[in-house]
Amino acid sequence: MTIAVTRQGEPVSTTSRSHAPAPGDTAPGSVPDGGVPDGGVPDGGVPDGTVRYLRIGDLELESGARLPDVILGYETWGTLNADRSNAVLIEHALTGDTHVTRGASEEPGWWEQLAGPGAPVDTDTYFVVSINILGGCYGSTGPSTPAPDGKPWGSRFPLVTLRDTTEAEARLADALGIRSWYAVLGGSLGGARALEWAVSYPDRVRRCAVISVGTSSTAEQIAFAQAQTLAIRQDPNFNGGDYYGGPEPEAGLALARRIAHITYRSAAELDGRFGRNAQDSEAPLEAGSLAGRGRYQVESYLDHQGNKLVRRFDANSYIAITEALMSHDISRGRGALAEALAPATAEFLVAAVDSDRLYFPAQSHALAAALPGDVAVHTIEAPIGHDGFLTEIGQLNSQLRRYFFG
């Protein structure tokens, strides 16, 4: 079956999964020819906030594997100036897409407090780019896209690291004619991607904002991640990763999201919102059997979060991107931390959420201390937890305008 994929632009035919995407989401699946001429600069007449596709060729991966004929999905806003000095790259988080802000339609973006007309990253001034991560399901080559034999990659999709994704993005920047970024910004996984850019390509990043992430994934963060990927892999429908065309591992993906979401929110936020309250008429303590027991409100909330992700995301992509985040280690093969960060020449802005229990503020302070020069850590005050990097990014408006976009 095929469906039309649009983002305020002309439809593009793509192989669908067994369900339609949630409203506003680009459908996961195979990416077609077209959208942008191979190796070419995108048409300046394409409306802002339209998903486009670019072939970047074969990619030699850190693992030694070779990923052929890689395609990246991306969106842009604004106009690249004559000397190509106003380009800003905004990196999405784990299950995010490329739709940072509205663009030509009223479809909301996920970081509108940060980017858009009049926002700190003003799209009337800057040329904003967002790229779907390699291994994703929103336009870039990933497990659900066709391998050279025409079948979905599935279990055959190779391990990709953040350094692999950065190399792929550098090729897209080359095709757009962007020699260096005015700034690269991101939070959580997006912050790890931004940091990797600043270290891998120091001459191509003039400013770098790293929000709510440290210099590497810790053992605890890897443990949380492994529990999520295992939840998917143990779903009876996973079929070793080759479930396309049949039942999908929806229960496993939903469980993975539940595990993740607990780490995204603080204990105080969950307790304040839900406490020990039962969900509507359900009564957990009045069940005649364990199988028939009702739910607490917090359980219903996590069920909602899991089911919502299932409607818009591919389980194999969740594994692939989670594995990429597990690979995050800016020091790998580069010596001690300060030595690894020494080549970076960007001006840095580092920020942490004070209630974050996934990426603790101490990790942001360790990053700032190891960076060249005197780098402060800005605090986002948010009782919500890790997700405060999205919901409360407006707290950094003055710092972003003062240091980066004034």
Task: Point out the catalytic residue in the list 97, 164, 356, 387.
Answer: 356
In which element (H, E) is residue 379 found? strand 377-380
Considering Cα of 112, then 344, then 200, then 44, what sign does the dihedral take? positive
Q: Which of 30, 140, 188, 212 is catalytic?
A: 188
The CA-based diameter of the chain, rounded to the nearest angstrom, is 72
Q: Residue 195 corresponds to which tokens in the numbers above?
A: 């940091």
Which runs of E-coded beta strand occur in 78-195? 87-91, 115-116, 121-122, 127-131, 183-187
Residue 314 appears among annotated catalytic residues: no
Q: Tell me if residue 188 is catalytic.
A: yes
Asked if residue 126 lies in contact with residue 87, where contact means CB atoms within 8 angstroms, the answer is: yes
| Residue 57 parent element (H or E) | strand 52-60
- Residue 182 token pair: 């005015």
Q: What is the DSSP letter of 39?
A: T
Q: What is the rounded CA–CA span in Å between residue 79 and residue 174?
A: 16
Asked if residue 296 lies in contact with residue 274, where contact means CB atoms within 8 angstroms, the answer is: yes
Residues 107/26, Cβ–Cβ less than 8 Å: no
Distance CA 181, CA 84 (A): 9
What's the residue count for the chain?
406
**From 140, 216, 386, 387, the catalytic residue:** 386
**Cβ neighbours of 333 (radius 10 Å):** 8
At 79, the amino acid letter reads T
Catalytic status, residue 130: no
Catalytically annotated residues: 188, 356, 386
